[in-house]
Amino acid sequence: MDNLEKDMLGDILIAPELVVMGLEAETDMEAIDKLATHLYNRGIVKETYIPAVKQREVDFCTGLAFEAMGVALPHTDSIHVNQQAIAIGILKKPVTFHHMGMPDVDVDVELMFMLAIQKPEAQITFLGKMMEVFQLDGCLEQVKNAASPEEAAAVFKGFFAEA
């Protein structure tokens, strides 16, 4: 129980098991498929999440160019989610995504945060805070350069305490 609480941020699971380091992909779809499959294999999402999150990325791309680096936030409808969580994918080499709201703009994405959210109306502060965390000095770099999944998850959660 202590361990579970340690891995929760509010009621969202952010755990070392949900951090994939050295994720290798040639395309945005391949990267999304791999991280979504990782969530499915751990029971966090239903199998339908995988095609749904890919289709959502085609319809509404989620690349975001932060000052530190490009980030992608793939997500889809809550009906595909079993447990609220965020998976972190640290890409071995940058993968080109399209920019949110500006599909003609490419973003070299180095970090993916895949959202599995069930009660978005309850997450307003959390989601807003997450964008502020991404803008904090050193946050994205420290997550990206973490030596272990434990460190990546801990660093990410640590920045929430600061924001």
Q: Exactly one of 41, 94, 131, 162 binds other proteins (CB under 8 A); which one?
A: 131
Q: Where does this chain touch other proteins (CB under 8 A) — which range of 14-22, 33-41, 98-106, 149-157?
A: 98-106
Q: In angstroms, rounded to a whole number, what is the distance separating the alpha carbons of residues 95 and 30?
A: 10
101 lies in the site for other proteins, by CB under 8 A: yes
Rounded to 10 degrees, the C-alpha dihedral 117/108/28/86 comes to -20
Q: Where does this chain touch other proteins (CB under 8 A) — which range of 10-18, 33-41, 60-68, 81-89?
A: 60-68
Q: Exactly one of 135, 138, 145, 150 binds other proteins (CB under 8 A); which one?
A: 135
User: Hunting for tokens 């994205």 — which residue is that?
Assistant: 140
Min dist. Cβ of residue 13 to other proteins (A) = 17
Q: What is the largest CA-CA distance in the chain?
A: 46
55 lies in the site for other proteins, by CB under 8 A: no
95 lies in the site for other proteins, by CB under 8 A: no
Q: Does residue 59 sit in helix, strand or coil?
A: helix
65 lies in the site for other proteins, by CB under 8 A: yes
Q: In angstroms, rounded to a whole number, what is the distance separating the alpha carbons of residues 140 and 159?
A: 10
Q: Which of 103, 23, 97 is nearest to 63 (CA)?
A: 97
Residue 54 CA to chain centroid, in angstroms?
A: 14
**Residue numbers at the binding site for other proteins (CB under 8 A):** 56, 59-60, 64-67, 73, 75-78, 99-103, 115, 117, 120-121, 123-125, 127-132, 134-135
